[in-house]
Copies of this chain bind each other. A is one copy, B any other.
Amino acid sequence: MQKADAADGGPAGATASGHQKRRARTERVVLDTTRELLAGSGFASLTIERVAERSGVAKSTIYRRYRSRNDLALAVLLDMLGDVSTLPYAKDTQTELTRLVNRTVDLMSNSLLGRIMQGLVSEVAADVELARTYRETVVAKRVREVTALVERGTARGELREGLDPELVTDLLLGPIYYRLFLSGEPLDEAFGQSLVAALYPAFAKDPQG
């Protein structure tokens, strides 16, 4: 995306000028329309042309904000992810892991996000700019969450010391995305359960526990 700034602000800071309000309104319309299109006919048929047509926003206006349809789709993804969190606080770490995994599984299989991710993954993998944004926001966020979880677990004496949070993230999310993107095996709660059940011994201080 061209801009990730939120609190850019005009010269006067808080007092949004009229122009800025206009910008904001336009942006909302565009993002909402894009989301509808994605929900309707999938990522493959997402088109700046169609977004312009259905939203009533001129094509040139959209191009002023988003460099490409990928940029736009990513913006929607970030917009949706704004609220969502996989915040997994619980009494014990295994439960926290289960919640984190199940929340992700649910997000990917039952909301628009799964479809968007499927459509966007190739672009993220190929487009450096896109990748940068994706990693700085989404990936980093997940790693932060896992890091917190790992630290908490270690402090509680439940998790082995020296666990690499990045690797833990790979292990927790990798299998989910592998199913989402490639293997086509079911993405459901049962899967989440087995996943954590299989992984926990690898993380636990006392595997017998």
Chain B: minimal CB distance from A110 (Å)? 16
Chain B: minimal CB distance from A69 (Å)? 13
State whether the Cβ of A72 lies closer than 8 Å to any Cβ in chain B. no
Q: Which B residues lie within 8 Å of A182 (CB)?
A: 121, 124-125, 134-135, 139, 177
A123 to B180, CA, bound (A): 12
Number of identical protomers = 4
Cβ of B119 and Cβ of A126 under 8 Å apart? Answer: yes
Q: Which of A18-26, A148-156, A194-202 participates in binding chain B?
A: A194-202
State whether the Cβ of A36 lies closer than 8 Å to any Cβ in chain B. no
Question: How many of chain A's residues touch chain B, expressed as a range?
Answer: 35 or more
Q: Which of A5-13, A51-59, A88-96, A167-175 participates in binding chain B?
A: A167-175
Cβ of B135 and Cβ of A183 under 8 Å apart? Answer: yes
A135 to B173, CA, bound (A): 20
Main secondary structure of the interface of A (DSSP, over half): helix
Cβ of A175 and Cβ of B185 under 8 Å apart? Answer: no
Given known contacts A118-B126, A125-B118, A202-B201, is B170 in contact with A179 (CB within 8 Å)? yes
State whether the Cβ of A29 lies closer than 8 Å to any Cβ in chain B. no
* Residue in B118, B173, B175, B185 whose CB lies within 8 Å of A122: B118
Given known contacts A166-B185, A175-B170, A181-B181, is B135 in contact with A43 (CB within 8 Å)? no
State whether the Cβ of A40 lies closer than 8 Å to any Cβ in chain B. no
Q: Which residues of A contact B (CB under 8 A)?
A: 42-44, 118-126, 131, 134-135, 139, 164, 166-167, 169-171, 173-185, 194-195, 198-202, 207
